[in-house]
Amino acid sequence: MVMVKVAPSILSADFSRLGDEIKRLEREGADWIHIDVMDGVFVPNITIGQSVVKSLRPFTALPFDVHLMITKPERYVKEFADAGADYITFHQEACGCIPSVLDDIHSFGKKAGLSINPETPFNTIEPYMDKIDLLLIMTVHPGFGGQAFMSECLPKVAEARRLVDENGCCMEISVDGGINYNTGKTAVSTGASVLAAGSAIFKAPDMKMEISRWHDL
């Protein structure tokens, strides 16, 4: 049985009090903290960088799942590793040297993640499966929160789960985009083990109860 991990995205947090929001997420039962890093080039939005990640690290012992939506992510692996990331995830579409970046992330003692956009075929990441600790399947087009879940991405989740189960590996399968209780339930039943979500968690009337419900999916 897959144990569901809930990774709230601080993109939906109150940026004027991020430290308090991080502590709140830990208190209410989150498993990971999902941190979206956008450069305004790979995606049409700009968020935060390594200095903010570093400033947030003292507020919790929860794993930081740092999602790099940036061009040439290889330039910043060391900076985010030093800032306190536990998982460093970059996009297949943003990098021409995937194996070396995965190796670089591991060389800093971090977990390596690879993400694919909705239009990217699953077979483009299959050659790297033995090096990936986290596969992040985007279920919206990356760049902005609050988009509708794209169910057409679910076959990728199913295929990833099949390969993980057949090969007995411990790679996490995460979905990110349009995740709420109902879409999360569908994703988990398809094979996801990590749910990255923003507004559905932060806007819940009772965050602790909402996270608990997701753990029971």
Tens of each residue's pLDDT in the chain, 217 residues: 678 999 999 999 999 999 999 999 999 999 999 999 999 999 999 999 999 999 999 999 999 999 999 999 999 999 999 999 999 999 999 988 999 999 999 999 999 999 999 999 999 999 999 999 999 999 999 877 678 999 999 999 999 999 999 988 889 999 999 999 999 999 999 999 999 999 999 999 999 999 999 999 9
- Structure tokens that stand for 40 in this block: 């305004």
Catalytic residue, chosen from 31, 36, 104, 133, is 36
CA distances from 19 to 13, 16, 75 (A): 10, 9, 27
104, 130, 176, 206: the catalytic one is 176
* 176 is an active site residue: yes
Active site residue 36: yes
CA 91/CA 118 separation, integer angstroms: 12
**pTM of the complete model:** 0.96
**Complete domains list, the chain, with CATH:** 5-215 (3.20.20.70)
Buried b / exposed e along 121-144 (16+ C-beta atoms within 10 A): ebeebeebeebbbbbbbbbbebbe
**Residue 97 φ/ψ, nearest 5 degrees:** -135, 55
Q: Kindly report the number of other CB atoms within 10 A of residue 51's CB atom.
A: 10
